Structure 1
Amino acid sequence: MSPTGPAARASATQQLRAATGSLGTAAMARMEADRPWFREMSAEDRSWVGMIVQAGVKSFVDWFADGGGSDIGDDDVVIEVFGVAPRAMAGVVDLHQTVDLIKLTIDEVEANIARLVDPDVLAEIHAAILRYGREIAFATAEVYARAAEVRGRWDARLEALAVDAVLRAETDESVLSRASAVGWTARGEVAVVVGTAPAEASGQQTGVFEDVRRAAKEGGLDALSAVQGHLLVVILGGVTAPEADAASVVHLFGEGAVVVGPVASDLSHAHLSASVALGALRAAVGWPHAPRPVSAHDLLPERILAGDETARLEAIEEIYAPLNDARGELVETLVAYFANGGGIEATSRSLFVHANTVRYRLGQIGDLTGLTPSVPRDALVLQLALVLGRQGV
């Protein structure tokens, strides 16, 4: 195809400029007829889309008038095409819809161009339309990618501030608003999960945020996360079985223990779960073969020996007190059972009761505390609870 002369190009440009309005109107009519997502938009948003379409047609005509030989940079697209729309439009029209909008507009221009320009410039205009459509689509994709990157960094910053406030027990309305802005729906109970941050998380807060959110969403959960020093802190919302729910994000942590705090009623009380989880994580080194994740409750003996006051009170209130309040002989039986090396017969002789009575009482102990005296780790917890209960600390 031989290039047209300046006079022919100038004439074609003049004809295109005169038809800009009608081409934009035709594209809008086609969009109204063929795109359900466009029909569902508000009148104001449809008006902004119309302005974008008109600006796109005008941008093509200006580009063609200048020779149509230069690449279309993404900054040009922002200024000439999307600059007419408010920033809020980015949340109304997504990338797929924007590319669809561009394709439809280009198709409509192509469909109507034959009746608007002289035949001797038609081939060159068709070639220009194809090139312009391709380049503006690529430029638009880059604009959305850049905007997503900036938005991701901003969301990660908001999320880090929200998590930091939770850890400091300063969860006010502003924190709840920040959490809501990054997708927290405030549904159901919450639990805090803590562990070592992965090595690649250094300086990559945005990536961690996205990975945690994706994994939690697959498990039907809300999530807030932040890297705090060498730790990764994840707040899960909508939990039903804390340890099972935490399993959906455990692979995102670095090496070492991953601890799940107790369930809290909502985000405003999540600091209670966080405090216990962080204390348990410090004590977790005492149980090198702990499962991943492990609940703070299962780390009770390590927490007690580490001087965790919350753990000491938990042992007294949730283990010793129920045994002491239920029947006096339960504590007596447990002491005798440990004193006799866990032997049923030896315990029955020392208490002057039948062996089945000992078995019955041990079963009651298990029902009240969830701990089985014959299991070594449960026995350790029970013995520590006995000591603390009798000390009255």
Structure 2
Amino acid sequence: MTSSINGVREQLATFRPLLALSMVMTTSGNEDEILRLATAAVPSLGRCRTTGAYLDGAWRQVGPIGAPPEADLVAARIQSLGDRNGPVLVEGYDWSWAFPLVGLRGNAGHILVSRETEPEEYHQFLLTVLFQQAGAAMANARLHALERRIIAIHDRLTAAAAAGEGPTGIATAVHELSGYPVAIEDRYGNLLAWAGPGCPDPYPKVSATQRDKLLKPAVRSAGAVRSNGRLTAVSQPGHQVEGVIALIDPDGTAGESEQLALEHGNTVLALELAHQRALAETELRLRRDLVEELLAGTDAESAASRAHALGYDLSRRHRVLVLTQGRRHRVEPDAFFRAVQKATRITQVGSLMVTRAGNVAVLADTDHNWEQFRTAVVDQLGGHGSCRVGVGAPCTDPPDFPRSHGQAQLALKLQVTTHAPEQVTKFEDLGVYQLLSEIADIGSLESFLHRWLGSLLDYDASKDGSQLVETLASYLDNGGNYEATAKALILHRNTLRYRLKRIREISGHDLSDPDTQFNLHLATRSWTVTLAMAEAPPA
């Protein structure tokens, strides 16, 4: 009876210091200190010794304790235990046991304890309690460390956002917090910012199809994913991807802390990109409003005030350009507008533009190589699009803009009406068309048309598909050359001969007479201008 009481007293004497040790470990915020305290207590519990600490998938050096013999085999056995405890063969010991360090956030690893002979059951129980308490203390320490890390990440990224550093500041902050190179891209894969070493030059860019395929996993997961040597997160403040932030991690070594920095950075980036987009949309709307007012004929004071608010110099000489798509390879209007917008930036033509009636009107603030600009638009459409450009005369005051706009529309319409190839047409280069369009007395122009083309116009109006006036115009524009006229109208020579015969019969004109040819040519050009002005009247 006495020995039994003494045994209980001995157990209680051992258990009390274990409880005190548990309290010390719990209040400690240092993971290494917790491990040191726990392993230092092992010899007092049944004369055991710590032979290894296998934590987070690797052997950890804890004071003098390193990896046991045959470390890889022992590690494989420990891994097979999962969150359980169990026996492990360690060279030189008859008894070895792996105790898990389990806490609220899962299992941090195992502590390997060995003894020449198996300890008493009570001592095994005390070891189990010791490492249960150590596991809880480590989980608590890691949680506090994570909270401190979150606060540090939040403070650093908030400072970058508050300072207005944009994507570059965010990339720099995430690089400093993670230690990895950081790339920030727009939705199309263009590099917005890079922080850290090794920025590729030129920066690689995949096709739109490949990029969608790469981003889909990140979009679905709503978090960071590993792909192609990168840890990537997608900034998607709404339904549309706005940008991408990635840690460059070819070896896949970035851990929880680095991923946390990336995901916090992504949150700040999403807000930054949404803010930038809102600002851009507001500025674009204000610019469109200014263009609409100028083209509609606003007063100089109102236009100057709105331009000043945008920081735009309206006193420079401008031209109004009107762009439209050709008949081939047409794209959506928004896509065409974006192509024009990008081309204006590349060629520095101007920054004020608006979509009107399916066309795009641009206020060009200097004279440029307009064909180069048109080519840039086609390039932005993928090289397969089509574009026509009409250029109005220069204007120096707000009241001049409607006039220049009307001239650009007329130049564009004449380009289409005369079946010219897709090109740039300047109002000043219209020659006789310009003179005809500026005739103030439209009645005299209509009388001239009726005198020379009246019978042919009446015939075309009464016969569906008849194109005698158009045929005559092309014949005269090509200098009476049958081959060139037939090619321009896509007609067989015999069909052309028949039409010219009918023209002579109906009009009574001698097409071989030079004076008659001159007047008919002038009349057909007047007819072309009249058609163009009917759809695009100059202001």
Q: TM-score range by the shorter chain?
A: 0.3 to 0.5
**Higher RCO (C-alpha 8 Å, min separation 6):** 1
Larger-gyration structure (1/2): 2
Give the structure with the larger helix fraction: 1
Q: TM-score, normalised by structure 2?
A: 0.36
Q: TM-score, normalised by structure 1?
A: 0.48
